[in-house]
Chains A and B, each alone.
Chain A
Amino acid sequence: MAQAPNMTALAVFIVLFVSVAVLGLFAARWHQSGEAQISEWGLGGRRFGTLITWFLLGGDLYTAYTFIAVPTALFGQGASGFFAVPYTIFVYPILFAVFPRLWSVARANGYVTAADFVRGRFGSGALALAIAVTGIVATMPYIALQLVGMEVVLGGLGIHGHWPLVIAFATVAAFTYTSGLRAPAIIAVVKDLLIYTTVIAAIVIIPGELGGYGKIFASVPPARLLLAPPTADNLGQGFSYATLALGSALALFLYPHAVTGLFGSASRHVVRRNAVILPAYSLALGLIALLGTMALASGVQAMPAYARGFKLFGANYAVPALFLQMFPSWFVGVAFAAIVIGALVPAAIMSIASANLFTRNIYREYVHPKCSPANELQVAKIAALVTLVGALCFIIGLPGAQKFAITLQLLGGIWIIQTLPSVLIGLYTRWLHPIALLAGWAAGIVSATAMMAAKGFVSPIYALNIFGVTAPCYDAISSLALNLAVSVVLSFVFNAMLSTREDATAVTDYV
C-alpha cells in the first residue's frame, strides 16, 4: 500500500484540493473595496465578522503541523505530550482580557502590526525593529513546518518527492498574492468543515474498532500514562508540563500571524466573542491528540504495510497510518485533504503577517519612508511571495532541514515571548522605558538561546536549581522572568535619567 498510490483516496484528495485553490483565487472579489492599500490586502480591509474571524483564527492557530505534531507527541512520549490541551485553555482568558485593547489602539491609529503599536507607544524605532525582526524570525520556521505536515500526508497517499510540495506552495503563493487575507479566510471555512467531519468520524469509529477507551489506554506503557511525580528535591515532570502550557499560551497571540488574524476582525466585540467560541477548536485538538494514543493501541507501527512511512517520517506517520488502517479509501482522501488544506491556511496568513512586518517596520521605516500606499501594498505582496519561496527552498533544498526547522520553531516560541513586556504591558502602561525594554528583550533572547544550546537544541526544558530544589522549567518562562526583571530595574534608572518620550496613542484609543 505504501508503494502504489491509493487511487480512490488520491482522487477525492485532488478534487478537494483543486476546488479550494479555485476558491482562494476568487476570494479577492469578496467584499473588496478596490482601494490599493496594505490594510485591504494584508488585513482583509478589517471587515471580518464573528464567524469568519472564528474560521480564520481557527485555521491560523490550529495548524496542520499541530494536527500532526500533537498526536505524534502522545504516540511517542505519552502524557507529557498532552500539554497542548491546558495550553489552548490558558490562551483564551488572556485573549479575552487583553487583546481587545490591542485591537482598539490599532484601529484608532491605523496600525497593521504589533511593532507599529510599539513604535507609536514608545516612540522608539529600535524597539519596534527588535519586535518586527523577532516576529519575522519566529514565523519563518513555522511556515516551513507546514510543509512537513503536508509531506507526511502526501507520503500516506503514496506520493513522494518534492513536486507535490512545489505545486501546493505555488497555489498558496498565487492566492496569497492576488487575494491577501481574504483567501485564507474563505478557505478556512472549507478546511474546518473537513477537519470537524474527520474528527467526529475518528472519535465515533476508531474507539469501537479498538475495543473501547479502556483497551486503548491499556496499550500505553505504564510509565508514560501519567507524568513522572515530584520527589523531595525535584518538582518533576508536572512543573515542566505546567510551564510549557503557560509559556506557550502567553506566546501564542504575540505571533505575527495571530495578530494579523485579530486585526482583520471588524470590532473589539468580534475579538471577545471569539475568545468565547474558539475553544471549540481546542476540543477538536484534544480529541485529535487522543488519536496518537489510538495509533499506539492499533499497532500500526508493527504492520508491514506502514513500515516505509514510519521509516521516512518516524512517529509523525502514526496518525496517517491510523487513518489508512481504519477508514475506507474515499474517507482517507477527505481526512488527508483536511490536513493539507489545513497547512495552506496558516502558511498564507503567516506569509502575509511577515510581509506586513517587513513592509511597515523595515521598508517604510528604513528604506523608503515616503512610499505611497500603492507602493507599500506592492512591496508587501512581493515580500509574501519571497517568504513562501524561501520556506520552500529551505525545506527541499537543505538536507536535514526538517530537524533544523523544528529546532528553529522551538526557539521561535521562546524568542517571540520576549516581546510580551513591550506589547502586552505596553497596552496598560508606558512606565517601562524603551531602552530598558530593549535590554530586557536582549537578555531574554540570549538567556533562552543559551539554555537551549546547553541542551543541544533538542529540549526547551532547562532544569533550574532553586534553593537546592530542581525545577525543570520551560525556557520561555525562565527567560521571560529575566527579561521582566531587567526591564523593570533599568526603567527605574532610565526614567530618572532621561526625559519623557512622545506617545502617539491617546488613553481613549484603548477602550
Chain B
Amino acid sequence: MTRFRPIYLLLFPPYIALLWVGFYNRVEPTLFGIPFFYWYQLLWIPLGALLLYPIYRAEERRKD
C-alpha cells in the first residue's frame, strides 16, 4: 500500500545506540567530570530529535 522510503531508516540509530548497553556502560571518557554512561545517553536526546527532522521535512514535502 505505502512504498518503503529509505529516509525512514533514520528512525533506527537511537535504538541501536542505546540498546547496546555494553558499549556505554563505562566511566571514561568523562565530560566536565560526568561519566560517559550519563553524558552519552543525554547526548542522544538531541541527536534523536535531529535524526527525526529530515524525515519530517521529507514528509512535509510529500504532502498534498
Contact = CB atoms under 8 A, between A and B. Distances in A.
A357 B27 CA distance: 47
A97 B38 CA distance: 27
- The dominant DSSP class at the B interface is helix
Contacts of A283: 42, 45-46
Given A79-B37, A216-B33, A226-B35, 11 more contacts: A82-B41, A93-B14, A93-B52, A215-B33, A217-B34, A227-B25, A246-B15, A275-B56, A286-B41, A286-B42, A287-B42
Given A213-B34, A283-B45, A246 B53 contact: no
Contacts of B55: 96
A279 B49 contact: yes
Nearest to A222: B27
A212 interface: yes
Interface string A187-219: 000000000000000000000000011111100
Contact of B41 (A86, A97, A217, A273): A86
Contacts, number: 106
A168 interface: no
B33 A89 contact: no
A238 interface: yes
Nearest to B55: A96
Contact of A82 (B15, B22, B32, B38): B38
A461 B53 CA distance: 35
B1 A276 contact: no
A191 to B, nearest CB: 21
8 contacts: A89-B41, A96-B52, A226-B26, A230-B22, A242-B18, A276-B53, A280-B49, A283-B45
Interface in B1-16: 1-2, 8, 11-12, 14-15
Interface of B: 1-2, 8, 11-12, 14-15, 18-19, 21-22, 25-27, 30, 32-35, 37-38, 41-42, 44-46, 48-49, 52-53, 55-56, 59-60, 63
Contacts of B25: 79, 226-227, 229, 238
Contacts of B60: 269
Interface string A456-473: 000000000000000000
Contacts of A273: 56
A254 interface: no
Nearest to B60: A269
Contacts of A62: none
A282 interface: yes
